Amino acid sequence: MSTADTMSLLPMLILAGGILLTLILIALTRRHLLAFITTALTILAAITTGLLHLNQQPHIIGDILIVDRFGLYYQIILLSATFVISIFSYISLERLFPDKRKEEYYILLMLATLGSSMMVISTHFISFFVSLETLTISLYTLISYYREREKAIEAGLKYLVLAAMSSAFLLFGMALIYAVSGEMSFHGLLAFATNSRGSANVMLVAGAGLMIVGIGFKLALAPFHMWAPDVYEGASSPVSALIATVSKGGVVALLLRFFTMTDLYRYQNVMLAFMVISALSMLAGNLLALQQKNVKRLLAYSSIAHLGYLLVAFISGKGMGVQAATFYITIYSLTILGAFGVVTIISKTDHEAGEIAHYKGLFWRRPVLAALFTLFLLSLAGIPLTAGFIGKYFLLAAGLGKGQWLLAFVLVVSSVIGLFYYLRLIVTMMSQEKDHQPAVPPENLSKGGMITLAILGILIVGLGLSPGWLIDLVRSLP
Interface residues with other proteins (CB under 8 A)?
364, 378, 383-385, 389-390, 393, 396-397, 400-401, 408-409, 412-413, 415-416, 419-420, 423, 427, 430, 432, 466-468, 471-472, 475
Is the CB of 115 or the CB of 382 nearer to other proteins? 382
Residue 67: beta bridge partners? 59
Distance in Å, CB of 354 to other proteins, minimum: 23
CB-based contacts of 165-169 (< 8 A; 24+ apart in sequence) = 165/217, 166/213, 166/214, 166/216, 166/217, 166/218, 166/224, 167/129, 167/132, 167/133, 167/136, 167/214, 168/214, 169/210, 169/211, 169/213, 169/214, 169/217
> What is the rounded distance in angstroms from the CA atom of residue 188 to the CA atom of residue 163?
28
Distance in Å, CB of 302 to other proteins, minimum: 16
Distance in Å, CB of 469 to other proteins, minimum: 10
> What is the rounded distance in angstroms from the CA atom of residue 443 to the CA atom of residue 463?
32
Is the CB of 20 or the CB of 427 nearer to other proteins? 427
Residue 61: beta bridge partners? 65
Is the CB of 15 or the CB of 315 nearer to other proteins? 315
b/e sequence 64-98, b meaning 16+ C-beta within 10 Å: bbbbbbbbbbbbbbbbbbbbbbbbbbbbbbeebbe
Nearest to 401 by CA among 283, 312, 273: 312
Contact 233, 343 (CB under 8 A): no
Distance in Å, CB of 349 to other proteins, minimum: 29
Residues 6+ apart with CB under 8 A from 441: 345, 346, 348, 353, 365, 366
Distance in Å, CB of 255 to other proteins, minimum: 24
Distance in Å, CB of 283 to other proteins, minimum: 15
Distance in Å, CB of 400 to other proteins, minimum: 5
Is the CB of 258 or the CB of 421 nearer to other proteins? 421
Is the CB of 126 or the CB of 416 nearer to other proteins? 416
Is the CB of 65 or the CB of 377 nearer to other proteins? 377
Is the CB of 156 or the CB of 467 nearer to other proteins? 467
Is the CB of 180 or the CB of 400 nearer to other proteins? 400
Nearest to 12 by CA among 70, 76, 69, 63: 76
Is the CB of 56 or the CB of 466 nearer to other proteins? 466
Distance in Å, CB of 381 to other proteins, minimum: 9
> What is the rounded distance in angstroms from the CA atom of residue 348 to the CA atom of residue 345?
8
Is the CB of 58 or the CB of 468 nearer to other proteins? 468
Is the CB of 212 or the CB of 398 nearer to other proteins? 398
Helices (H) and strands (E) in the chain, counts: 21, 2
Distance in Å, CB of 430 to other proteins, minimum: 6
> What is the rounded distance in angstroms from the CA atom of residue 276 to the CA atom of residue 289?
20
Helix (H, G, I), strand (E, B) or coil at 274: helix
Distance in Å, CB of 1 to other proteins, minimum: 38
> What is the rounded distance in angstroms from the CA atom of residue 400 to the CA atom of residue 393?
10
Residues 6+ apart with CB under 8 A from 327: 390, 391, 394, 470, 471, 474
Distance in Å, CB of 287 to other proteins, minimum: 15
Which ranges in 352-446 belong to alpha helices (H)? Answer: 362-365, 367-381, 387-401, 405-430
